[in-house]
Amino acid sequence: MEPPVRELLVLSKGGDAPSTRYRAKQYFARLAAAGYRSHHLDLAGGVGNYAAALAAARRADIVLVLRKTLPAVLLWALRLCSRRLVFDLDDAIFCNTDGSPSTTRMTRFRQMASACDRVLAGNAFLAEAARRFNRHVDIIPTAVDVDHYAPSAEKPAGVFDVVWIGSSSTRKYLEEAIPALRQAAEHIPGLRLKIIADFNLDNPGFPTLTVRWRADSEALELASSHVGIAPMRDDDWSRGKCALKVLQYMAAGLPVVSSPVGVNGEAVLPGQTGYLATDDAGWVAALVALAKDPVQAQAFGMAGRQRVEAIYSLARVSTDLLAALDDTCR
């Protein structure tokens, strides 16, 4: 007998936001095969969108709010309209973006987590925060569609491309790595920083290549690089991150050099899939080692791809997400 069709409504700040694409939309086809009819609405932009979301919530079996904490009145109305309400987060939205505590953000986070039937957290740090206010918390790591990436892409000769993918919101992390990259460029002929983002860097002291992010080209741009980097600060905001760029690098068959913060420090296995660096000297040593031994670097990249397939792939994580949704409906 065919399973009953269940309506899943995803509400987020925007359909093109990375969290919406990676935490919700990429699962829709797989959820459809399991009996879920999924659709997304913006929960931002004014009264009209709010009204549409509340109306749609009445028809849904599960309403999943992605990453947004809501004003008390809107949260009350959504709770009233929803049979089952789930909160999903992939950032430490209970603190400021510099990692400092925020009473306002924590209050809204507490209200949101407490009002929901279940919380889906992108990592253990976020899950621990949510369990203070809700007993039903599942860790659902951010996943990537490994088949989207092409690790066999040709790499340019004469350069050593160190790639970073991100946006203006995480630019500060890349800028803090510039001194280490400048030192590494003194030891690595042809070192070039490839930036896949929505900004340029002015005169960092070594060659750069800026590539505007596009969904249809990001996989090739990553795979045609030599190493992926993920510098991060060691604070609560960074600990809430779910290592998306690291997973993308690994899926594309790249060795990774990363700060040992949050999920980054769990995903990267030092000496197997890349290196973890805590200071400028560590960053320089890691990049020089990868540049000097391309065979080892390639082996690291293939091991990283296998690790993503086993733990962080869309196929693997979708089973956990489906189990959490099914359990919510019981």
Q: What is the pLDDT of residue 2?
A: 61
Alpha-carbon torsion, ordered 102, 108, 111, 116, to 10 deg: -120
Alpha-carbon torsion, ordered 88, 91, 95, 96, to 10 deg: -130
Instruction: Return the percentage of the chain with pLDDT > 90, whole number.
Output: 92
Residues 117/129, Cβ–Cβ less than 8 Å: no
What is the domain range of residue 216? 146-312
pLDDT class for 151, splitting at 50, 70, 90?
A: confident
Q: Does the pLDDT value for residue 281 go beyond 90? A: yes
Same domain, 323 and 260: no
Same domain, 277 and 294: yes
Q: What is the pLDDT of residue 3?
A: 61
Same domain, 175 and 121: no
Domain for residue 153, yes or no? yes
Same domain, 286 and 322: no
The distance in angstroms from the start CA to the end CA of the chain is 18
pLDDT class for 87, splitting at 50, 70, 90?
A: very high
Same domain, 66 and 106: yes
| Token pair listed for 250 | 């690994």
Q: Residues of 35-47 as b/e, b for ≥16 C-beta within 10 angstroms?
A: ebebebbbbeeee
Q: Which whole number is the average pLDDT over 247-265?
A: 97
Same domain, 299 and 243: yes
Domain for residue 1, yes or no? no
Domain for residue 205, yes or no? yes
Same domain, 158 and 289: yes
Q: Which whole number is the average pLDDT over 13-39?
A: 95
Q: 154 or 321: which carries more pLDDT confidence?
A: 321
Q: What is the pLDDT of residue 153?
A: 86
Number of structural domains, the chain?
A: 2
Q: Does the pLDDT value for residue 20 go beyond 90? A: yes
Same domain, 135 and 280: no
Same domain, 138 and 164: no
pLDDT single digits (tens) 37-72: 999 999 988 899 999 999 999 999 999 999 999 999
The model carries a pTM of: 0.94
Q: Which whole number is the average pLDDT over 289-306?
A: 97
Q: What is the pLDDT of residue 44?
A: 85
Same domain, 287 and 154: yes
- Pairwise CA distance, residues 122 & 216, whole Å: 25
Choose among 102, 136, 139, 113: nearest CA to 236: 102
Choose among 187, 225, 220, 223: nearest CA to 208: 225
| Token pair listed for 243 | 């290592």
Average pLDDT, the chain: 95
CATH of the domain at 96: 3.40.50.2000
Q: Does the pLDDT value for residue 304 go beyond 70? A: yes
Q: Which whole number is the average pLDDT over 268-282?
A: 98
Q: Does the pLDDT value for residue 126 go beyond 70? A: yes
Same domain, 293 and 261: yes
- Pairwise CA distance, residues 197 & 214, whole Å: 9
Q: What is the pLDDT of residue 202?
A: 86
Q: Give the CA distances from residue 131 to residues 139, 189, 237, 278, in Å, rounded to whole numbers and listed in that order.
A: 11, 50, 18, 30
Q: What is the pLDDT of residue 188?
A: 97
Same domain, 305 and 322: no
